[in-house]
Amino acid sequence: MVAIVQQEQPLSATPRGTAGKVSHFNDPNIGSKLMAMGVLPGSQVRVVRKSPFGGGCYVKVDNFFLALRKEEADSIVLK
Amino acid sequence: MQDTRPTTKTFTMALLGNPNCGKSSVFNQLTGLRQKVGNFPGVTVDKKIGQTLLPNQSTVTLVDFPGTYSFYPTSIDERIVVQSLCNPEDPNYPDGILYIADITKLEKHLLLLTQLRDLGIPIILALNMSDMAQKEGLEVDTKKLSRQLHVKVVKISGRTGEGIDSLKEEIGRMIGQRDAYIAPQPLFKMTEVERDAAEAAKEIVPDANTYQGLLIAHHYDWLPFLSEAQRKLLADVAKQSGFESLRAQVDETMQRFDKFTPIVRSAIRTQSEGGESTTTEKLDNILTHRVFGPLIFFALMLLVFQAIFAWATYPMDIIEGFFGYTGEWIKSNLPEGWATDLLTDGIIAGLGGILVFIPQIAILFLLISLLEEVGYMARAAYMFDNVMRSFGLNGRSIVALVSGGACAIPAIMSTRTIGNWKERLITILVTPFISCSARIPVYIVLIGFVVPPKTVGGIFGLQGLAFMGLYLLGIIAALFSAWVFKLILKTHERSFLMLELPEYRMPVLRNVGLTVWEKVRSFVVEAGQIILVISIILWFLASYGPSADMEQARTEALATAEAQNLSEMETKNLIASRRIEASYAGHLGKAIEPVIEPLGYDWKIGIALVTSFAAREVFVGTMATIYSIGSEQDEYSVRDRMAVERNPITGEKVYTPATALSLLLFYVFAMQCMSTLAIVKRETKSWKWPIVQFVFMTALAYVAAWGAYAWLS
């Protein structure tokens, strides 16, 4: 069920169930906001599902849930 | 309601916390009905202020700040927090801080606490949702946490009220000895570069501490209390010392997490391992499913819509009946004259026109805040974000657009949950295009002139289809104009979704009740004043005119009545009809006749357009008066009378399909509702946007009506 992703693939393009630990963020602006919300390098992230009309996804980060737009999800690089 | 204005300077506490920390439950627990809504200077962010009574009988003022994740803001809401807290001379600078953190998510909720703690303001940490922690088998060693963070800690539950009394006692102790509640050392250690930038900024703002200086150095480009010269100075300092804001933000956040995470881990004991599917995840498998999710949303909205229609009718009828009856009673018991008329047709009718919206507002907010409390609204925003965004709107706009089908007023009030100002403004501007319930009487009167009562395909009534078409037109107009505004309006604010989806919880009815109360109150008090003034003006226009004209109208009507041997009722109706023709509204109708003639309207329709600015459904009543049908009006008798109306010069029917279609289109698009304009003024805190809205909606209505008339006639 848990697929290991190579970081070249943006998070929004990975299949449901993809999980891993956050390595870093490739957009510093989005990254700093995500960090303030508790998504840190080392946090466990899992793609729970994709948005009904595309473009975003629903992720679980450690013990909470986040809805992210495509570019927000894609700024997260997993280890 | 008690007066909540501070008479002398009371101790003021800022209530702060992350979004979804349960802050408003705690605020409601502490203040109850002793709260009012103001706004932060210069912005449209609401400021809730309340008073709480401590066990020692002293009162404390609580200011509820918007939910914030950190001192590095991305929305106007969050900026308020920074600008109020980094400048000790700010009018909202608090004497103390009450910080609310969700005990079940302590690690992510403590970032802002550690930042606040470094400001040098006395602070109390309240661990909220102690009831949930108990259920999850989570234990927190508050003594240890308090010792290591150097912050006093209280465990509470905003939901059950547990611990609220000890929190009040703690606040009382804090007022007595403020210094004991200030952390001795800042948690965050600045680099040399940061310290230089902070010291330079600190010089500018009197009494600021070094961390406040650092915040000013980060945010100098937008902080409103700085002058241009000071901005320039800080930009130079940053350049010389090599201070890079974004990089420093990330480093500060990391350093803080590195310091407090071990503290939290050592103070928390948890039994559940996490990782297993929670109830929330199971529910979301269905509720946010790619296919079922949106379907369930529309089904829910249909229910909300139905509830507004079904439940609001009875109280609305009672309110209307009451004001109608009171007006009649006063008329028959007070001497005739302008004062009685002003009281009955101006003030009482105006008040009725305001209060009649209360059932719709109350029901919509009852249901919406229930969905919000449960945690569902965040899911709706997530599901529709992408679709809405292509029109310059936000996921949360879907709720306003759907509710607009009942009434634009509560719908516009519901846009406050949209954080991004541009997206919220566009939602406010386009929501009145959605056909509301007040348009229905107008549609019913007019649709028969355009579409014959035929059935097509065996089941579909042609008139019903036309009805649906009008609704669709409204939706298309809303989305299209949203898209146009998206291109026109500029913003520097970046738009984010990054929305936390809270766990599904049982709603706290107290919060729901207070939300409904607050919405109804702010509508009646704030929009109500404007509506009352406009309805008195409209009453004046429709009942007064140049005195010679009015007198002549009366004598002529009496003469005609006598000649035709009319009954008393018929005579009264005839006088009313002639008087409205001679009134200022009649003159206005005649004056705008050249403008509305290309649309196929005569001056009588002109009068109805003027008076129905009060509310669209007034169109039917005005038509009844003009055609002297009297107060015994219903949509069908008005329609029958209109059907035989002919142009006195050409002898042709006035209400041809062309005219009726043109009128229908006019009512689909035009901003014929002063209450909506009043609420837009209230929500945008300026007359600019209601005027813009009125102009573009009327322009679109005019063009559409003109096109339809030109095409059909």
CA nearest to B284, candidates A2, A49, A39, A45: A49
Q: Tell me, yes or no, if A55 comes closer than 8 A to chain B by beta carbon.
A: yes
In a domain, A4, yes or no: no
Place of tokens 């006093």: B152
Residues of the domain holding A31: 11-78
Widest pairwise Cα distance in chain B = 100
Per-residue pLDDT tens digits for B356-387: 888 988 998 899 889 989 999 899 989 999 99
Under a CB-based contact definition with an 8 Å cutoff, are residues B27 and B35 in contact? Answer: yes
Q: Tell me, yes or no, if B494 comes closer than 8 A to chain A by beta carbon.
A: yes
Under a CB-based contact definition with an 8 Å cutoff, are residues B111 and B137 in contact? Answer: no
Q: B500 and A50: CB-CB below 8 Å?
A: no
**Domains contained in chain A, number:** 1
Residue of B nearest to A51 (CA): B383
Q: Tell me, yes or no, if A51 comes closer than 8 A to chain B by beta carbon.
A: yes
Which residues of chain A are within 8 Å of residue B277 when distances are taken between CB atoms? Answer: none
Task: Please report the residues numbered 294 through 353 in chain B whose beta carbons come closer than 8 angstroms to any beta carbon of chain A.
Answer: 294
Q: Where are the alpha helices (DSSP H) in B375-438?
A: 376-389, 397-403, 408-413, 421-430
Q: Which of B108, B278, B492 to mutate to test the interface with A (most CBs of A within 10 A)?
A: B108
CATH number at residue A40: 2.30.30.90
pLDDT for B484: 95
Per-residue pLDDT tens digits for B90-129: 999 999 999 999 999 999 999 999 999 999 999 999 999 9
Residue B41 confidence class, pLDDT cut points 50, 70, 90? low
- Say which residues have a Cβ less than 8 Å from residue B260's Cβ, sequence separation at least 6: B110, B111, B114, B149, B187
Q: Which of A65, A68, A70, A72 to mutate to test the interface with B (most CBs of B within 10 A)?
A: A65
Q: Tell me, yes or no, if A15 comes closer than 8 A to chain B by beta carbon.
A: no
Which residues of chain B are within 8 Å of residue A36 when distances are taken between CB atoms? Answer: 69-70, 72, 111, 253
In a domain, A3, yes or no: no
pLDDT for B631: 52
Which of B250, B294, B501 minimises the CB distance to A58? Answer: B501
Residue of B nearest to A28 (CA): B246
Percent of chain B with pLDDT over 90: 51
DSSP label of A59: E
CA distance B434 to B411: 10
Tokens standing for residue B201: 């900024």
Strands B123-128 and B96-102: parallel
Q: A37 and B288: CB-CB below 8 Å?
A: no
ipTM for the complex? Answer: 0.91
Q: Tell me, yes or no, if A27 comes closer than 8 A to chain B by beta carbon.
A: no
Per-residue pLDDT tens digits for B429-441: 999 999 987 888 7
Under a CB-based contact definition with an 8 Å cutoff, are residues B370 and B512 in contact? Answer: yes
Q: What are phi and psi of A68, to 5 degrees?
A: -125, 145
Which residues of chain A are within 8 Å of residue B260 when distances are taken between CB atoms? Answer: none
Per-residue pLDDT tens digits for B189-208: 999 999 999 999 999 998 99
pLDDT for B7: 45
Under a CB-based contact definition with an 8 Å cutoff, are residues B390 and B358 in contact? Answer: no
In a domain, A32, yes or no: yes
Q: Tell me, yes or no, if A28 comes closer than 8 A to chain B by beta carbon.
A: yes
Per-residue pLDDT tens digits for B50-85: 999 999 999 999 999 989 999 998 777 788 999 999
Q: Tell me, yes or no, if B283 comes closer than 8 A to chain A by beta carbon.
A: no
With 0-12 / 13-18 / 19 or more C-beta atoms within 10 angstroms meaning exposed / middle / buried, residue B429 is buried
Q: A67 and B378: CB-CB below 8 Å?
A: yes
CA nearest to B410, candidates B362, B463, B474: B362
Q: Does the structure show a pLDDT above 60 at B329?
A: yes
Q: What are phi and psi of B433, to 5 degrees?
A: -70, -25
The beta strand positions in B520-583, using DSSP E, are none
Domain spans of chain B? Answer: 11-181, 192-270, 540-712
In a domain, A61, yes or no: yes
User: What angle, rounded to 10 degrees, do the helices at B568-582 and B547-564 form?
Assistant: 150
Residue B611 falls in which region: left (phi positive, over 0), alpha (psi -120 to 50) or beta? alpha
Domain B11-181: give its CATH superfamily: P-loop containing nucleotide triphosphate hydrolases (3.40.50.300)
Mean pLDDT, chain B, whole residue set: 88
Which residues of chain A are within 8 Å of residue B256 when distances are taken between CB atoms? Answer: none
CA distance B98 to B153: 10
Q: B250 and A36: CB-CB below 8 Å?
A: no
Per-residue pLDDT tens digits for B491-515: 777 778 888 999 999 999 999 999 8
Q: Mean per-residue pLDDT for B317-328? A: 88
Place of tokens 């579409």: B451
CA distance B67 to B81: 9
Task: Identify which has the larger pLDDT, B624 or B585.
Answer: B585
Residue B3 confidence class, pLDDT cut points 50, 70, 90? very low
Per-residue pLDDT tens digits for B140-170: 999 999 999 999 999 999 999 999 999 999 9
Under a CB-based contact definition with an 8 Å cutoff, are residues B480 and B392 in contact? Answer: no
In a domain, A2, yes or no: no
In a domain, A6, yes or no: no
Residue B2 confidence class, pLDDT cut points 50, 70, 90? very low
How many C-beta atoms surround the C-beta of residue B16 within 10 A? 26
Report the length, in residues, of chain A: 79
Per-residue pLDDT tens digits for B593-648: 999 999 999 888 998 898 888 778 778 778 877 776 655 456 777 788 888 888 77
Q: B498 and A35: CB-CB below 8 Å?
A: no
In a domain, A1, yes or no: no
Residue B534 confidence class, pLDDT cut points 50, 70, 90? confident
Q: Tell me, yes or no, if B108 comes closer than 8 A to chain A by beta carbon.
A: yes
Q: Which amino acid is at B365?
A: F
Under a CB-based contact definition with an 8 Å cutoff, are residues B154 and B170 in contact? Answer: yes
pTM of the model: 0.83
Task: Identify which has the larger pLDDT, B574 or B277.
Answer: B574
Q: Tell me, yes or no, if A13 comes closer than 8 A to chain B by beta carbon.
A: no
Q: B69 and A33: CB-CB below 8 Å?
A: yes
Q: Which amino acid is at A22?
A: V
Under a CB-based contact definition with an 8 Å cutoff, are residues B389 and B415 in contact? Answer: no
CA nearest to B204, candidates B213, B195, B214: B213
Which of B108, B294, B389 minimises the CB distance to A38? Answer: B108
Which residues of chain A are within 8 Å of residue B379 when distances are taken between CB atoms? Answer: 67
Choice among B230-234, B447-451, B670-674 with the minimum mean pLDDT: B447-451
Strands B96-102 and B59-64: unpaired
Under a CB-based contact definition with an 8 Å cutoff, are residues B402 and B520 in contact? Answer: no
Q: Can you say how many angstroms the Cα of residue B594 is from the centroid of all Cα atoms in its chain?
A: 38
pLDDT for B628: 67
How many CB pairs below 8 A link A and B? Answer: 119
CA distance B131 to B114: 24
